[in-house]
Amino acid sequence: MNRAELLELIQYGENSGVEFKRDDVHPQRLAGEIAALLNLEGGHILLGIEDDGTVTGLARSADEAEEWVMQVARDHLLPPITPYWEVHVLWSQERVGIISLPANAPDKPYKAKRGSSWVTKVRVGSTTRDASREEEERLYQQAGRLQYGLKPIPGATIDDLDRRRLRDYFTRVLSGDAPEDRDAEQWEVLLRNLDLAVISAGVTAPTVDGMLLFGMRPGRFLPQSGVRAISYSGVEPDYAARADEQLKGAMLPLHGSDGSLIESGLVEQVWDFFRRNAAPVASLDDGRRVDSWEYPEDAVREIVINALVHRDYSIAGTDVSLSMFSDRLEVQSPGRLPNTVTLEGMRSGLRYARNQTLVNVMRDYGYVEARGMGIRNKVIPAMRAHNGSEPELVEGEYHFRVCLRK
């Protein structure tokens, strides 16, 4: 960091990535600030700066301050780290120490020592606080250390899974066999072997992934399992929506033995909403009329499937959303991208799976391609061919959104 960059940080004040501290701050307090920044997007802690931005400088020598910071990062953080440290001298000859912390730190969640215990810290705006249980779970997920989809659903049994869909999956899709309906023990063994159920408190219970894929009524146990689909007449959200539907049900469809569709899954429900609310576009090709959709079918289906398969299901109270405007279509899924995944990596074909069981089963049905590079291989080429545009990929603090221009 150069002097001009430091002055700019001081000028704009504290935010989600910048914290001001005196260098006599308690070690456990400093460790909490370091942990919170690491658990978000990294950032900078400026030592020798008051909360109001007044530069008071380091009370210690530069060498003593560095040794102290490194000791705090070793002894009061779990796991310990070695942060980048530098000192700058400002116009008043006051020295400012800078602790720089990386984005996408690999060992989330980072914990700060509090007495004899360790506490996960999170950053909310310019403040640091203790993480809730749900926030801590999401940090484990981001680091790939916890698969939420493999957790059992309290109060549910395998009778809450749709036996018709399960039988269709094992026989028609996988070309195998399925137990007799009355053979509960064999069903339990089969579902546990595929991570669709686990033993919890002595009972075989569906996993989150099992309920999402095959649940009779997934919304009863997982209210965040659906899709909110809205069509607006203009370019901004408004109360006078043309259509507003809450789509619920199992992620997978039910087919007959001949392959005919009996009941739609979520993907088909979303696609049906899209076709009812998107206007066909007519064009001429060598004098012949050609009808097409406002957006390429492959691109729309791919981003809907990605949203359902890769969203963070530990975030309750919010669904995947499909929003249609007069100039664009947006699909938004709750949760940040998994740890180490970047927007540039997605465009280049980086493969990842937050919910591996969902990916595996949806691939069996042909919804997910084997190579797992749908953004690069489907969405980007489809939009370029359709109207010469690129899909817009946007990561927010608690969501990921893909926008297709009409």
Give residue-wise pLDDT tens across range 373-388: 778 888 999 999 999 9
CA atoms of 43 and 333, how far apart (whole Å): 26
| pTM of structure | 0.69
Number of separate helices (H) and strands (E) present in the chain: 14, 20
- Is a pLDDT exceeding 70 seen at residue 290? no
Pick among 2.30.42.10, 3.30.565.60, 3.30.1950.10, 2.60.40.10: CATH of 223-405: 3.30.565.60
The β-bridge relationship of strands 197-200 and 111-114 is: unpaired
27-31, 77-81, 145-149, 193-197: the lowest-pLDDT one: 145-149
**What residues contact 350, with CB distance under 8 A and at least 6 apart?**
341, 342, 373
- Is a pLDDT exceeding 90 seen at residue 136? no
The β-bridge relationship of strands 84-89 and 95-101 is: antiparallel
Return mean pLDDT, the chain. Answer: 89
Please list the alpha-helical segments (H only) found in 58-156: 62-75, 133-142
pLDDT tens digits, 222-266: 999 999 999 999 999 888 899 999 999 999 999 988 889 999 999
CA atoms of 332 and 345, how far apart (whole Å): 19
Residue limits of CATH 3.30.565.60 in the chain: 223-405
- Residue 364, both tokens: 């069996």
Under 8 Å between Cβ of 329 and 135: no
CA atoms of 49 and 94, how far apart (whole Å): 10
Neighbour count for residue 254 (Cβ, 10 Å): 17
How confident is the model over 81-88, as a mean pLDDT?
92
* CATH superfamily name and code, 3-131: Schlafen, AAA domain (3.30.950.30)
- Residue 119, both tokens: 């506490």
CA atoms of 273 and 243, how far apart (whole Å): 9
pLDDT of residue 339: 62
CA atoms of 304 and 324, how far apart (whole Å): 13
How confident is the model over 136-148, as a mean pLDDT?
75
Task: Name the one residue in this structure whose structure tokens are 């009778």.
Answer: 159
pLDDT of residue 177: 92
Q: How confident is the model at residue 283 (pLDDT cuts 50, 70, 90)?
A: low
35-44, 277-286, 323-332: the lowest-pLDDT one: 277-286
Q: How confident is the model at residue 284 (pLDDT cuts 50, 70, 90)?
A: low
Q: How confident is the model at residue 291 (pLDDT cuts 50, 70, 90)?
A: low
What's the Cα-to-Cα distance from 253 to each of 81, 108, 233, 267, 363, rounded to whole Å?
48, 37, 30, 8, 14
- Is a pLDDT exceeding 90 seen at residue 90? no
Q: How confident is the model at residue 288 (pLDDT cuts 50, 70, 90)?
A: confident
pLDDT tens digits, 202-226: 889 999 999 999 999 999 999 999 9
How confident is the model over 154-173, as a mean pLDDT?
93
Residue limits of CATH 3.30.950.30 in the chain: 3-131
- Residue 151, both tokens: 């957790």
- Strand-pairing partners, residue 117, are 114
- Is a pLDDT exceeding 80 seen at residue 91? no
- Is a pLDDT exceeding 90 seen at residue 181? no
- Is a pLDDT exceeding 90 seen at residue 163? yes
Q: How confident is the model at residue 159 (pLDDT cuts 50, 70, 90)?
A: very high
- Is a pLDDT exceeding 70 seen at residue 79? yes
Task: List the one residue out of 133, 89, 111 whose CA is nearest residue 33.
Answer: 111
